[in-house]
Chains A and B, each alone.
Chain A
Amino acid sequence: MQKDEYLKKLASALSGIPDAQKKDILADYAEHFEMGVLDGRSEEEISEALEDPRTIGREYTAAALVKNAEADPSAGGLGRAILATIGLGLFNLIVVLIPLICIIMVLAVLFLIGFSLCCAGPILTGGAVLELLGIVSGVLFFSAPAAVFLGIGITCLGLLILIMEYWLIRVLYRIGIRYLKWNIAVIHGSEQI
C-alpha cells in the first residue's frame, strides 16, 4: 500500500475524533513514512510494517472517546467510550462487557432496595400515625408508636443507600475510565496512545 492510500484509509478510520487530533496523528504517520523512505525503504514495506489503518483508527477513536468521557463526565460519553473499546476486539467483549453488566446489575439492585425503603418508610409511618389518630385500626401487627420511629428510620436508610449509590457511581466512573484506558493501552501494546 502506498503512503497516500494508507493515510487516506487512516483519515477515514479517524472520522470519530476531533480534527486537530486527527491532523496530528496523520502528520505523525506521514513523518513515519518520510523517515522510512530516507532510510531506503519503500512505501509498501513501511505500510506492511505498520498496523492496518482501520485498526489504528479504531484504537485512536476509542482513546479519544475515553478522554472525552474523562473530561466531560456523562452517562452517554461513558457509553460511547465503552462501545468503542468493545469494538476493538473479541477479547474486550469479555473483559469490558461482563464487568459492565455485573456493575449495572449491582447498581440496579441497590437502587431498587433504596427506592423500596424510601417508599416503605413513609407508608409505615403514615399507617402508624393514622392508627394512633384512630382513623384506621388493625393495619399494624406491632406497636404503632414504635412503627412511627421505625418508619422514619427505614426512610432514612433508603435515602442513605441512594446517596451511597450516587457516591459509588462516581467512584466506579473514575475506575471505569482508568480501566478503559488500561485496556486500550494493553491492546495497543504501549502505555501511550
Chain B
Amino acid sequence: MICTLPSTRQIFCWLFLIMILSFGLGGIVLLIESDKTKPDLEESSDFRIPYDGIETVRMNLKVDTGTINITDGSMEEILSGKVHADTNHYLPRLTHAITNKTLFASDDRHSDLFHEMIGGEEKWDIRLGNQIPMSLMISVGAGDIHMAPGDAQISELALESGAGSIFLNITAWKGKDLPIRIENGAGDITILFPDQSHVSVSLDRGLGNLLLTGFSGNAHGYYHTTDKPDAPVIHVTISQGLGDVTLRTENAMKK
C-alpha cells in the first residue's frame, strides 16, 4: 500500500475546517459557560502570632508580584494581618518557627510551573507589635512596598523590589541604631526620617531625580544630624537602577 502525503492545499483546507469547528465549538461552550456563575477564585486569610515568651523576631518575606503594606498597631500579637491572593489555589501563608526564643517567620505558598510562568498577585497587610526587636527582610519582584512601622522595635531592615515603589516612614522609630538596606530596580523610593536622629545615606543610583529635604552632602553620601547627642543613629544603603529618590526629615515635611 502506497501512502501519499497530502498536498499543501489539502492541509490548508483541513486546517481551515478544524479552525472553524474549533472556534465555533469554543464560542458555543463559552456562551453556555458564561451563564453559569463564576466561582470566586479570590481568597484571603488572617494570621496572628502571639508573644508567648518570644524575645526577637526575624521575618523574611518574599513576594513575586503584589503589594506589601506594613504598619504598627498589633497590640497583643507580635505579628498580625491578612494576606490576599487573586487565586485561592495559590493563597500563601505566613509560617513561623521558634528557636531559642527567636521567632523566624516567612512566607509559604503552593507553587507549580504554571504559577511560576503566569504568576498571581498577592496583597499583604501586616501589623507589627512594638514590644520586642524585629529584623525584617522584605522582597517583592514586581509591586510596591509601603511601610510605616510606627514605634515598632525594628533592629534591622532590608527592602528589595525589582520594579515598584518603596515608601518607608520611620519618623516614629525609637531605637538606638538602625541599619537599612534598600535595593530597587525601577521605581521611586521615599524615606521619611525622624528629625531627632543622625542619618547617613549611601547612595548608588542609575537614572532619576534626587529630592533631599533636611539633608546635606554629596554624591558619596548624604547626612542629617541633630544637636541631641543620644539621638538614634540610622545608616541607609540605597541601590537603585531607575527612579526618583526622596529623603526627608520629619520637620522638613511639616515646613
Q: Which residues on A are within 8 Å of B, measured CB to CB?
A: 127, 130, 135-139, 142-143, 145-150, 152-153, 156-157, 159-160, 163-164, 166-167
Contact = CB atoms under 8 A, between A and B. Distances in A.
Interface residues of B, number: 27
Given A152-B18, A153-B23, A156-B19, A138 B29 contact: no
Contact of B22 (A135, A139, A152): A152
A146 B114 contact: no
Interface stretch (B53-61, B84-92, B182-190, B194-202): B84-92
A170 B8 CA distance: 13
Given A138-B120, A156-B16, A160-B12, A146 B26 contact: yes
A146 B26 CA distance: 4
Contacts of A167: 8
Interface of B: 8, 11-12, 15-16, 18-19, 22-23, 25-27, 29-30, 33-34, 41, 86-90, 112, 114-115, 118, 120
Contacts of B90: 138
B25 A149 contact: yes
Contacts of A147: 26
Nearest to A136: B114
A142 B12 contact: no
A146 B29 CA distance: 5
A62 to B, nearest CB: 32
A149 B23 contact: yes
A163 B25 contact: no
Given A138-B120, A152-B22, A143 B15 contact: no
A150 B30 CA distance: 10
A116 to B, nearest CB: 16
Contacts of A156: 15-16, 18-19, 22
A139 B33 contact: no
A145 B33 contact: yes
Contacts of B22: 149-150, 152-153, 156
Interface centre among B26, B27, B115, B120 (most CB of A within 10 A): B26
A128 B199 CA distance: 54
Nearest to A130: B114
Question: Which 9 pairs of residues, A with B, have the shortest CB-CB distance?
Answer: A138-B87, A149-B26, A153-B22, A156-B19, A143-B33, A150-B26, A146-B29, A146-B30, A153-B23
A178 B163 CA distance: 54
Nearest to B14: A156
Contacts of B12: 160, 163-164
B227 to A, nearest CB: 57
B18 A143 contact: no
Contacts of B27: 146
B89 A138 contact: yes
Nearest to A144: B33
8 contacts: A137-B89, A146-B27, A152-B26, A157-B19, A159-B15, A163-B15, A164-B12, A167-B8
